[in-house]
Amino acid sequence: MALNAISFVKALLHVSNKAFKIQTPRLLRSFSYLAIDVEQHHLHTPHEKPFDVDTNLLSHMVRDKTLESLTQFGGVKELASLLETDVKGGVSDSKDDLDHRKRVFGVNIFTKPPSKGFFSFVLESFKDTTIIILLACALLSLGFGIKQHGWKEGWYDGGSIILAVILVIVVSSVSNFNQSRQFQKLSAKSENIGVEVVRGGRRQSVSIFDVVVGDIAYLKIGDQVPADGVLLEGYSLKVDESSMTGESDHVHVNADTNPFLLSGTKISDGFAYMLVTSVGVNTAWGEMMGSVAREVNEETPLQVRLNKLTSAIGKVGLLVAALVLVVSMIRYFTGSTRDDFGNREFVGRKTKFDDVMNAVVGIVAAAVTIVVVAIPEGLPLAVTLTLAYSMKKMMRDNAMVRRISACETMGSATTICTDKTGTLTMNEMQVTEVWVGKDEIAEGAYLAPSLVQLLKEGIGLNTAGSVYQTQQTSPPEISGSPTEKALLSWAVVDLGMDIDVVKQHCEIIHVETFNSEKKRSGILMREKRGSNRIVTHWKGAAEMILAMCSSYYGRTGEIMIFNDEERVQIENIVKGMATKSLRCIAFAQKSSNGQVCEKLEETELTLLGILGLKDPCRPGVEAAVESCRNAGVKIKMITGDNVHTAKAIASECGILDPTEELDEDAVVEGFQFRNYSHEERMEKIDRIRVMARSSPFDKLLMVQCLKQKGNVVAVTGDGTNDAPALKEADIGLSMGIEGTEVAKESSDIVILDDNFSSVVTVIRWGRCVYRNIQKFIQFQLTVNVAALVINFVAAVSSGKVPLTAVQLLWVNLIMDTLGALALATEEPTDDLMKMAPVGRVEPLITRVMWRNLISQAMYQVMVLLVLEFRGRSIFDVSEKVKNTIIFNSFVLCQVFNEFNAREMEKKNIFKGLGKNRLFIVIVSLTVGLQLVMVEFLKKFANTERLTWEQWGVCVSIGALSWPIGVLVKCIPVVCKK
């Protein structure tokens, strides 16, 4: 009404203003009053009418769990009416209605705190110990340089170190900033989960960001509650609210005392339909998210090891620098050093004070240069580049990395404990066999109407799935788990079940949801018509249900008592189905006319029938398992299916070889494994390949035992029951399609296509990351060892260093950063899957690496020391040209050695080079920059131009690295077992 009045007055005001602006004055005639009928629909379209409910009141009602507020609304159904929601059909699925709800109540997106800016990463870089040491060296070098050579030329060494430090900070800050943004993108992708809602009368999957107030959301075990809301309908509902309250106990949610569901919590048991009352920032989770910043910079175990390595090398550098300082000081003050004319530099009191100071400054500058060369500035940066590059590539290969440390850890995996359903198999169930009693029922065969009715009740009511019939001519839309979909599809097509009719004639009194330990689910129902009978319906794993039965139905509807022989016959039928890799689901019931019990009957049941469901193996799984076997990675299948089904699938996938005689411990059941003593488990764990009928505890126990034996364990899982094992494992891999939110939250990597072949791809990438980092360490340490030895020998023997601080920083920083990028971009090869896994105890720098590293460093040291002491006489050049030849030869040795680093053990270092164009581009860029450094930046780099002949000599010295590398690889290395 207020809006109508304001709009009407503004319209009249607009008309009157126009009238008074008319230039020709004239008399305005008007009535004493004017009545205008204003209809509501002229101002608002039907879907934009306001909701008669306060958003803040809804928000506080759920957040504070206030039952009085819900009572004021008139209860859940009246609240649904106020939100214009049909309790059966949900909200309208029209875009206009959904957009209107978003405008009124907000969108389901949380406001996050602003991400860290670029300059915050710059400030963090200044806190690095290496940077602090380099800055201290730079200031010393700057001061000494200006003291010796004046402002004009004295700033080169110190200034170049400062420039190098700035470059390191900029490059590392840009890299960390980009990595942070990448994590935010991955975080956004991982938060975009699918939610099942009822809209327009049917259940459909939407993004969590598209959930609106008024939606009816369907929740089952393992789901994350997408928004704040109240329980509309549900059974045995328990919620894990630890993410909100910190309490580990699961909260029971019911319609009477606690109907409230908080956003971000997880369903631990039961299933429910929830009415969404608040979304986004109006939820309890949204309010909490607004004040919590997520830290995305994670330091991986490998980076920690490398930081220790860098620190150790830095300490060695400081020790060598201190030694050079002491020896050089002793040599100078004892008169052992001579100038360019052969005269002693220190002659006691006759030496001028300025000369002494200049000499001391020169000695200190040489020591500072050694510290600079010892610190491998590019090492941590190389790891960051490698991990960032591999994470992007892994995303393209259907693996989303949630924790960056998993990239490298996966390369060390020695054992994979894999789920069966959905990972090794297609997770597309279909009923292929039906048995009633001892008879197999062919398609279209006769079944007694009473038995058909009981099966319809057992399948249609005892389910978490749903059936939506769009039109009579089109097939129904069936939603739910693959098993539920297969059972419902069979009931609809073969039994002619109309699920709505079944639900109309029956009232569900109590529900016991599927339990991964009991492996069954049940309902207690009352028939509304006629007899008013009470019926218990159970469904679940055939062996479990069979053990609860004392009688069975025949196909004509008669009930027969089990004797021992018949029970054995039906058990054999189940075994026969299992050996065909069918999942056997049995149905049983018990009727009574007495009072309703709170607990479902579990004894003296009557077996209705057994259905065999086929879930075919995924294409490519057998090849993937073979690939893992060749890579030395053991595969263990852990499944809830019975032992016969497990054996059949394991044989089909290649985990078990049907041609070889099985070890008696190769296939065990969960109860056997948990009943072993600790010593028995540890003794048998390596021989176990398949564990059937396992519980979540059995899976966790296996992972713990494998880790105790020194294995690096990867676990795949998709259910809430897999969460403990996923967390315990070194690498948890959850399934992106069928995986529950609890499983994804507990994992390190999400396999986006649910395929075991993608798990193998992750192993390939993990090994590639680890190997690329090893290649770079070998390359980087060769540079550092060679430069350190050359400068140390030269400084101790002559008091002068052939490689200046600027030149060493150029080699150490620019070349090595480019080298890291070149070696980090090497793609995974098939050879990686032919090597043994690294495991836990393998050192980062292996004996093979030491062999390659020391041989190349020795060659470089020998050649460059010959040039240092005999270079002037060999080439008949000045001291400055000789030092330029040493510098140029040293750099070109690294360029050629970069090719050697591509292969640690193979002699052919050019294999696959054509596929890595970036490597060729980077090497070409390095050579081009070196040319500029020598020929055009003479003052800055302290170099002289070289002739073509001198360039040819430098290239020849560098090229000799290749034949030396081939010869060295002929030397066998004995590795520790």
pLDDT at 43 over 50: no
Would residue 419 show up in a list of annotated catalytic residues for this protein? yes
Dig out the tokens for 264 from the structure: 């971000």
pLDDT at position 45 over 50? no
Model pLDDT, residue 381: 66
Look at residues 723, 769, 730, 732 and name the one whose alpha carbon lies nearest to residue 750: 732
Quick one: tokens of 886? Answer: 């040493």
Whether the pLDDT of residue 7 is over 90: the answer is: no
Closest-CA residue to 324 (of 705, 968, 799):
799
- Tokens of residue 124, six digits: 């963090």
| Spatial contact of 823 and 772, defined as CB atoms under 8 Å apart | yes
In angstroms, the CA 323 to CA 328 distance is 8
Q: Map tokens 């460093």 to a residue.
A: 857
Residue 950: in which H helix or E strand, if any? helix 948-959
Asked if residue 460 lies in contact with residue 499, where contact means CB atoms within 8 angstroms, the answer is yes
How far apart (Å, rounded) are the C-alpha atoms in residues 146 and 152?
8
Lowest mean pLDDT among 126-135, 318-327, 493-502, 666-675: 126-135
Amino acid, single-letter form, for residue 754: D
Q: If you compute the radius of gyration of the chain from its CA atoms, what whole number of angstroms results?
A: 38
Sign of the Cα pseudo-torsion (513, 515, 521, 526, in order): negative
Own/partner long-range contacts of 171-176 (Cβ < 8 Å, ≥24 apart): 171/381, 171/817, 172/121, 172/125, 172/380, 172/381, 172/384, 173/118, 173/121, 173/122, 173/124, 173/125, 174/118, 175/381, 175/384, 175/385, 175/388, 176/121, 176/124, 176/125, 176/297, 176/384
Residue reference for tokens 């709009």? 7
Q: CA-CA distance, 532 to 526, in Å (whole number)?
A: 6
Model pLDDT for residues 895-952, shown as the tens digit of each residue: 999 999 888 888 888 888 888 888 888 889 889 988 998 888 877 777 889 999 999 9
Across the range 228-239, mean pLDDT stands at 88
The residue-averaged pLDDT of 204-225 equals 90
Q: Which one is catalytic: 97, 128, 157, 419? A: 419
The stretch 26-46 carries a mean pLDDT of: 52
3-state secondary structure 622-644: HHHHHHHHHCCCEEEEECCCCHH
Q: Does the pLDDT at position 162 exceed 90? A: no
Mean pLDDT of 366-393: 72
pLDDT at position 839 over 50: yes
Q: What type of residue is 921? A: V
pLDDT of residue 440: 92
Q: E strand or H helix at 479, and its extent? A: strand 477-479
Does the structure show a pLDDT above 50 at 977?
Answer: no
Residue 44, pLDDT score: 43
Dist. CA 805–CA 368, nearest whole Å: 8
Element (H, E) at 933: helix 917-935
Average pLDDT of the segment spanning 834-862: 86
* Strand pairing class (667-669; 690-692): parallel
The whole-angstrom separation of Cα 445 and Cα 714 is 47
pLDDT for res 931: 92
* pLDDT above 60 (res 714): yes
Distances (CA, A) of 325 to 322, 368, 642: 5, 9, 74
Spatial separation of the C-alpha atoms in residues 258 and 252, rounded to whole Å: 8
Label residue 46 by pLDDT band (50, 70, 90): very low
Q: Note the helical H segments in 349-447.
A: 353-374, 378-396, 405-409
For residue 869, give the nearest of 970, 793, 775 by alpha carbon. 793
Residue 112 corresponds to which tokens in the numbers above? 């996050």
Rounded Cα–Cα distance for residues 645 and 433 (Å): 14
**Residue 175: pLDDT band with limits 50, 70, 90:** low
Question: What is the model's pLDDT at position 561?
Answer: 93
Q: Where are the alpha helices (DSSP H) in 583-636?
A: 621-630
- pLDDT at residue 706 above 90? yes
Task: Please name the residues in contact with 179: beta carbons below 8 A apart, sequence gap of 6 or more.
Answer: 296, 297, 384, 387, 388
Average pLDDT value for residue range 297-301: 56
Question: Would you say residue 54 has pLDDT above 50?
Answer: yes
Contact 213, 98 (CB under 8 A): no
Q: Mapping DSSP to helix (H, G, I), strand (E, B) and coil, where does residue 731 land?
A: strand
The confidence score (pLDDT) of residue 52 equals 75
| pLDDT confidence tier of residue 289, bands split at 50, 70 and 90 | low
Distant-in-sequence, close-in-space partners of 139: CB < 8 Å, separation ≥ 6:
158
Of residues 702, 644, 944, 664, the one with CA closest to residue 804 = 944
Q: 41 pLDDT band (50/70/90 cuts)?
A: very low
Confidence of residue 373 (pLDDT cuts 50, 70, 90): low
For residue 610, list its beta bridge partners: 435, 586
What's the confidence (pLDDT) of residue 267? 87
What are the structural domains of the chain? Answer: 55-102+211-293 (2.70.150.10), 301-388+764-970 (1.20.1110.10), 399-426+618-754 (3.40.50.1000), 430-467+476-614 (3.40.1110.10)
Higher model confidence: residue 24 or residue 424?
424
List all residues 6 or more positions away from 623 whose beta carbon is below 8 Å from its beta carbon.
757
> In 3-state terms, what secondary structure has residue 522?
strand
Confidence of residue 42 (pLDDT cuts 50, 70, 90): very low
The answer to whether 401 and 749 have CB atoms below 8 angstroms apart is yes
> DSSP character for 815?
I
Q: What's the CA gap between 523 and 500, in Å, rounded?
A: 17
Average pLDDT score, the chain = 82
Residue 312: its pLDDT value, please? 80
Q: What is the pLDDT of residue 340?
A: 64
Instruction: Tell me the one-letter amino acid at 527.
Output: E
